[in-house]
Chain A
């Protein structure tokens, strides 16, 4: 009987223990979930409903997560007795397994407590807690964008952005060691951002590297870190607006692009704006020539360079991309006329002044004529009404 009692007790305790303790080390702790998966129970035991919600774990979500093979205790050590203390136990940090990522994060802007208002972003800010997912698994670029957008709403890509949902924020900005845009030697500094673009746009990258913009960048001895406001030789993002990176076929791209070129090439943009080409572009034409149609985009050279689309040898051929039947002489059109520059284009200069004088002369004389007539009639009507005449 004693034995029977002892055995029964042993088996009973074992069964109870088997339900609780051993399971703590097993795949997704059934026994933890017995309490932590039962929201009703948690609500009864916590005064604060928010605290109850925080203590809740969905078994399904956890099993589906990339940590689904781990047990609760792999992260939450020191909770292996029941009832367990509510606080005072260290939760295992992610760094215990993900050392490289943690080191990267520690040097990142997200770990800069001063800059982050003492809060800081931790692993779980992006990866979640019990539903932690693997990047490139269920954690798609769009998912990542959503998570970044929680704080970086203003920098979220627009719907016109070609990269939206195709590559995530981290492709250009990096992930764990994410830096400042105007930062130091981290991934997003001016030169490195080019390398990120290069990963996909090799051809454009090569062309740019050899053209006049690329040469300017190569010769640039700009300080690192780059200070805001300093003029930087053009890189990809100078012309292709980050976060609003429209396709070159997009109706607004060319007119935006023209404005962009004009920020450095002020005179050229101003004079081109006096032509049909650019004005039609500004009004939404997608066939009128903009800067890049004549000068090229990733392979731009000064017009005295034989490689230039605007060189003497290539110019007519470039015109012909739109004006198919153009013949010699056509290329003498001045796409950047400056009516104030007599030496450069005398005919434009003289016709500009002739038409301005005609405008001022005709309107000046006849607006005065009109005004004088009006006054005359007014005076006559006043005289008539004084005399009590007709009307």
Chain B
């Protein structure tokens, strides 16, 4: 029973590897692939688009030159948009395939394993605030907390708003057959503001909630390696673990510990992404002064 605690470094690079094993599979290969594509395209779209939002900023010319001029930056931006549409379609297709093959389809639409927002999420949000003020215990999350659902649905909303308005602005002559001219003015506002919301949300709130909060610092690579320790799951998703232990649910498959190389690659990539994201927030703050 009392096994000696594993020897581990003082600061573990990946928060999902802290504590006691065994490892549990949390995200499958396709999820991780989709998230990786989301990172790559989002950064590309943000860096190629943001000079237009903050034309007055001293860094806008530099950024545009880095991409080889404003026309080239536009091409890269639209290329990344096409990739985004492609992997989002693949994600929807994958989801449909999984739902069709699932023995209990209801689990995809309701309950602890579903990403659909439910009354419990509102309660968890309120409980979280109560906990912040020291008026109650920390809420116990299921597989997805309201924050993860917010990330997911935030991206879905952003995809349709930014993607839709972006297509309008990409093909104005085609869309002007059906839409009045002012639709392009509205699309410009939606596109730039929604992108700004997405950038500011992801690079502050998402970064803090997932990576930078003191109990997870410096980062959580579960979305890169796909696996986390049981300790981590008990900390972050305790009610899911409780369901396993009560036998209400089959425990997710056990996973081998992530390899050393994979951990280092995930950490280096993750730190770089964190750095660039925080730099973009700094650039926006800088641009607000002009």
Contact = CB atoms under 8 A, between A and B. Distances in A.
Report whether chain A binds chain B.
Answer: yes
Interface of A: 273-276, 279-280, 282-285, 287-288, 323-327, 329-334, 337, 339, 345, 347-348, 351-352, 355-356, 358-359, 362-363, 366-367, 369-370, 372-379, 381
Contacts of B214: 374, 377-378, 381
Contacts of B189: 339, 348, 351-352, 355
A376 B134 CA distance: 8
Contacts of B194: 355
Interface stretch (B22-30, B63-71, B220-228, B258-266): B63-71
Interface of B: 51-52, 55, 60-61, 64, 69-71, 73-74, 128-129, 131-134, 169, 172-173, 176-177, 179-186, 188-190, 193-194, 196-197, 200-201, 204-205, 208-209, 213-215
Given A280-B52, A330-B172, A372-B132, A363 B197 contact: yes
Contact of B55 (A283, A373, A378): A283
Contact of B177 (A275, A327, A356, A379): A327
Contacts of B201: 362-363, 366
6 contacts: A275-B188, A285-B71, A327-B177, A358-B193, A367-B204, A374-B213
A287 B74 CA distance: 12
A280 B186 contact: no
Given A356-B193, A366-B201, A333 B181 contact: yes
Nearest to B192: A355
A375 B180 CA distance: 50
A231 B232 CA distance: 71
A352 B188 CA distance: 10
Contacts of A327: 173, 176-177
Given A284-B70, A330-B172, 18 more contacts: A276-B188, A279-B52, A280-B74, A283-B55, A283-B64, A284-B64, A288-B70, A329-B180, A330-B181, A333-B172, A334-B181, A348-B182, A352-B189, A355-B197, A359-B193, A369-B132, A372-B129, A378-B214
B71 to A, nearest CB: 6
B166 to A, nearest CB: 11
B59 to A, nearest CB: 12
B205 A355 contact: no
A323 B64 contact: no
Given A283-B64, A323-B172, A376 B185 contact: no
A287 B71 contact: yes
Nearest to A326: B173
B205 A366 contact: yes
Nearest to B217: A377
A334 B182 contact: yes
Contact of A330 (B70, B176, B186): B176
Contacts of B128: 369, 373
Contact of A347 (B52, B69, B172, B186): B186
Nearest to A355: B193
Contacts of A275: 185, 188
A370 B204 contact: yes
Most chain A C-beta atoms within 10 Å of own C-beta, residue among B128, B134, B172, B185: B185
A367 to B, nearest CB: 6
Contacts of A378: 214
A337 B133 CA distance: 45
A280 B74 CA distance: 10
Contact of B186 (A348, A374, A379): A348
Nearest to A286: B71
A363 B129 CA distance: 16
Nearest to A361: B197
A332 B204 CA distance: 39
A329 B64 contact: no
A283 B51 contact: yes
B209 A370 contact: yes
Contacts of A374: 208, 213-214
A345 B134 contact: no
Contacts of B73: 283
Contacts of B190: 351, 355
Top 7 A-B pairs ranked by shortest CB distance?
A332-B181, A355-B193, A333-B181, A372-B132, A283-B70, A330-B176, A325-B173
Contacts of A279: 52, 55
B196 A373 contact: no
A110 B51 CA distance: 49
A375 B74 CA distance: 42
Contacts of B133: 372
B51 to A, nearest CB: 6
A310 to B, nearest CB: 14
A109 B145 CA distance: 81
Q: Could you say which of A280, A331, A348 has the most chain B C-beta atoms within 10 Å of its C-beta?
A: A280
Contacts of B176: 326-327, 329-330, 333
Contacts of B172: 323, 326, 330, 333
A53 B122 CA distance: 96
A330 B172 CA distance: 8
A282 B73 CA distance: 14
Contacts of B134: 376, 379
A256 to B, nearest CB: 14
A41 B179 CA distance: 92
B131 to A, nearest CB: 7
A373 B208 contact: yes
Contacts of B213: 373-374, 377
